[in-house]
Amino acid sequence: MNDTEAPAQHGILADPAPSALEAAAWRQPVDYWRTCAVRLPGGELHETSRFTWFTSDFTTAPWFNQVMLTNVDAGEADAAIDERLAFFAERGRPMLWHVIPASRPADLSARLLSRGFHAVGSRLTMMTIELADLPNAEPPAGLEIECVSDEAGLERWFSGYIAGFAMAPEAARPFLDIYRGFGYCGDSPFRHYAGLLNGQAVASATLFVGAGVASVWHVGTAPAARRLGIGSAMTLAALNDGRRLGHRSGVLQASDDGVSIYRKLGFREYGQALQYRWTPAS
């Protein structure tokens, strides 16, 4: 078990071979949450041979209490899952459980569903791109992409983020507090981008440097500004910064709606993940 702060992984993946890139792609979301979890109020990160998971004091949204990795023999799975779930139930904390291709047991999804979990949204497809192959594209007319460098810029990023994901500010504000604590650029593993369309914050993206790759998070566009190419422009802005930082490979997790868009940019697919949400009884 590790309850101490785990630093972001700043090393650059030197081997772009498909097997190495695939492994790094699946590591980066875990590195992301390792980096964030210990910054949450009451945040604790736990890593054992069977589970990688974290918890916090938040009870209003499931993102801040998660089981990220599961590696349990089938014969032990029910007891192990129940033990882990009991922790969150006793504390009244809603949570997410991730199922990725490497998760064990193979029927983990079915076992979670039988315990009252519900699938969250669409599948997430892991996608990668070699940063040397990024396309050149002009941003849509009227769009300014701001790389956040101060508190005011972070607030603009936050406005674009909650607009793009239709989130209540109070549910998303922990992200703002986490990112504020890391500062801006410099040695921070995060870089944030606010998309301003004719001066109005309508989109967001975040670059995270972890697992040796440049990964893109929080790509969202307000409904009224969609289908203009803003999401693609935000993604490319983040990845171009990743390339300038010396990274060779970029990764992201795309929703079903986003897969075709990222294919057009040159991304390739490396499998799918599912998220399951559990909410404690009232």
| pLDDT tens readout for residues 144-198 | 999 999 999 999 999 999 999 999 998 888 899 899 999 887 779 999 999 999 9
Q: Where are the alpha helices (DSSP H) in the chain?
A: 18-37, 74-91, 108-113, 151-165, 169-182, 230-244, 256-265
Please report the pLDDT score of residue 281 as a whole number: 84
- Tell whether the model's pLDDT for residue 6 goes beyond 70: no
Q: Which residues pair with 69 in a beta bridge?
A: 52
pLDDT tens-digit series, residues 63-122? 999 999 999 999 999 999 999 999 999 999 999 999 999 999 999 999 999 999 999 987
Confidence class of residue 60 from pLDDT cuts 50, 70 and 90?
Answer: confident
CA distance 236 to 218: 13
CB 49 within 8 A of CB 62: no
CA distance 207 to 251: 10
Domain residue spans of the chain:
18-125, 129-270
Whether the model pTM is above 0.75 = yes
Please report the pLDDT score of residue 7 as a whole number: 35
Q: How many residues does the chain have?
A: 282
Please report the pLDDT score of residue 16 as a whole number: 72
Please report the pLDDT score of residue 282 as a whole number: 60
pLDDT tens-digit series, residues 236-274? 999 999 999 999 999 999 999 899 999 999 999 999 999
CA distance 271 to 26: 9
Largest pairwise CA distance in the chain: 58
Q: Bigger pLDDT: 124 or 15?
A: 124
Pairing of strands 200-210, 51-55: unpaired
Please report the pLDDT score of residue 79 as a whole number: 98
CB atoms closer than 10 angstroms to residue 209: 26
CA distance 54 to 66: 6
CB 53 within 8 A of CB 46: yes
Lookup: tokens for 191: 């870089």
Backbone torsions φ then ψ of 192, nearest 5 degrees:
-115, 150
Does the structural domain 129-270 have CATH classification 3.40.630.30? yes
Helix, strand, coil percent content, the chain, rounded in steps of 5? 40, 30, 35
Name which of 43-47, 58-62, 84-88, 116-120 the model is least confident about.
58-62
For residue 37, the SS3 value is helix
Please report the pLDDT score of residue 1 as a whole number: 34
DSSP string, 167-190: --HHHHHHHHHHHHHH-SSTT-SE
CB 13 within 8 A of CB 249: yes
Lookup: tokens for 232: 């693609």
Q: Which residues pair with 125 in a beta bridge?
A: 254, 272
